[in-house]
């Protein structure tokens, strides 16, 4: 009894547990803004929030150990700062996108053809060299797998 509970309580060091915990807590918070209307717009908003929550919880579960999680956390922080001002956020996003385009290194682009695509996919991959990018990609894939598993569990449970 005790041993099993201790085992379970020592388990939280795993990313999976932490993500599940964080994501569920975020979901619970989101439930406060439960959609009164089932309109597509409301559902879409809710989808965006849930997705954001999933990303945020994943990034915070990983922590700042990884470059991609750091990038995600930074993005979240920026978004949280600009969350209240929707208009300003859009402008900011536009500016950021332009800045990203400018900051992209031409030398890195010619290294691998597909690497750029991977850079777009992995958060914070724009500024990485190919070696780190692959490293981060490996970890990111792991985390995405975990995320998908946990979210699938949750969806399956709730849709019951």
Partner 1 sequence: MEKENMFVNERNTLTPTWSSSNFGMEIQTNELNCTSDQLTNHFFNPNWDNTVDQNDPFESALSSMVSSPVTSNASGDGIVLRELIGRLGSICNSGEISPPSYFAGNNSTNTSCYSTPLNSPPKLNLSMMDHQIGGNLQIPGNQFPNHPSLTPFCSDPGFVERAARFSCFGSRNFGVPSGQIGLNESEFPHKLMNSSNLSRLSRNQSFKVTASPMGAQENREGLLDGKISASDDKFSVFSRSSTPKNGELGDSREESSVSEQIPGGEIGSKTQNDASSRKRKSIPREKPKEISSSSAKNAKAGAENDESNSKRNKPEEGNGNEKEAEKSKADDNGTEKQSKDNQKPAEPPKDYIHVRARRGQATDSHSLAERVRREKISERMKFLQDLVPGCNKVTGKAVMLDEIINYVQSLQRQVEFLSMKLSTVNTRMDFNMEALLSKESHGSLPHSTDQFDSSSQALPYALQSHQGSNLHCAIPNGSENPFSLNPLNSTMHRNPGMQLPPINCFGEPTSQASTFWEDDLQSLVQMGFGQNQSNNLQGTTAITRMKVEL
- The residue (of 47 and 85) whose beta carbon lies closer to partner 1 is 47
Minimum CB separation of residue 88 from partner 1 in Å reads 25
110 touches partner 1 (CB under 8 A): no
93 touches partner 1 (CB under 8 A): no
Q: What b-and-e string marks burial along 25-60, b requiring 16 or more CB atoms within 10 Å of the CB?
A: ebbeeeeeeeeeeeeeeeeeeeeeeeebbbbbbbbb
Q: Which of 39, 51, 81, 85 binds partner 1 (CB under 8 A)?
A: 51
CA angle 52, 53, 54 (to 5 degrees): 90
50 touches partner 1 (CB under 8 A): yes
26 touches partner 1 (CB under 8 A): no
Phi then psi for residue 104, to 5 deg, are -65, 130
33 touches partner 1 (CB under 8 A): no
The four Cα atoms 35, 41, 44, 46 give a dihedral, to 10 degrees, of -20
114 touches partner 1 (CB under 8 A): yes
118 touches partner 1 (CB under 8 A): yes
Separation between Cα atoms, residue 75 and residue 7, nearest integer Å:
35
27 touches partner 1 (CB under 8 A): yes
Residue 146: is it exposed, middle or buried by C-beta count within 10 angstroms (0-12/13-18/19+)?
Answer: buried
User: Which residue from 60, 7, 51 is spatially nearest to 27, judged by alpha carbons?
Assistant: 51
Q: Which residues of the shown chain bind partner 1 in the complex (CB under 8 A)?
A: 1, 4-5, 7-9, 11-12, 14, 16-17, 19-21, 24-25, 27-28, 31, 34, 43-44, 46-47, 49-51, 53-55, 112-115, 117-118, 121-122, 130-131, 134-135, 137-138, 140-142, 144-145, 147-160
């Amino acid at each position: 009894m005790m041993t099993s509970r201790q085992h379970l309580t020592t388990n939280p060091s795993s990313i999976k547990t932490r993500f599940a915990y964080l994501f569920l807590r975020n979901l619970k918070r989101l439930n406060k803004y439960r959609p009164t209307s089932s309109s597509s717009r409301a559902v879409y908003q809710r989808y965006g929030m849930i997705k954001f929550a999933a990303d945020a919880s994943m990034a915070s579960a990983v922590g700042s150990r990884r470059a991609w999680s750091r990038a995600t956390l930074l993005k979240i922080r920026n978004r949280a700062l600009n969350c209240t001002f929707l208009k300003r956020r859009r402008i900011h996003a536009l500016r950021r996108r332009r800045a990203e385009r400018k900051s992209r290194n031409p030398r890195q682009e010619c290294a691998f053809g597909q690497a750029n695509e991977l850079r777009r996919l992995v958060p914070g991959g724009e500024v990485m060299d190919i070696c780190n990018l692959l490293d981060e990609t490996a970890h990111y894939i792991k985390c995405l797998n975990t995320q998908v598993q946990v979210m699938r569990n949750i969806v399956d449970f709730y849709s019951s």
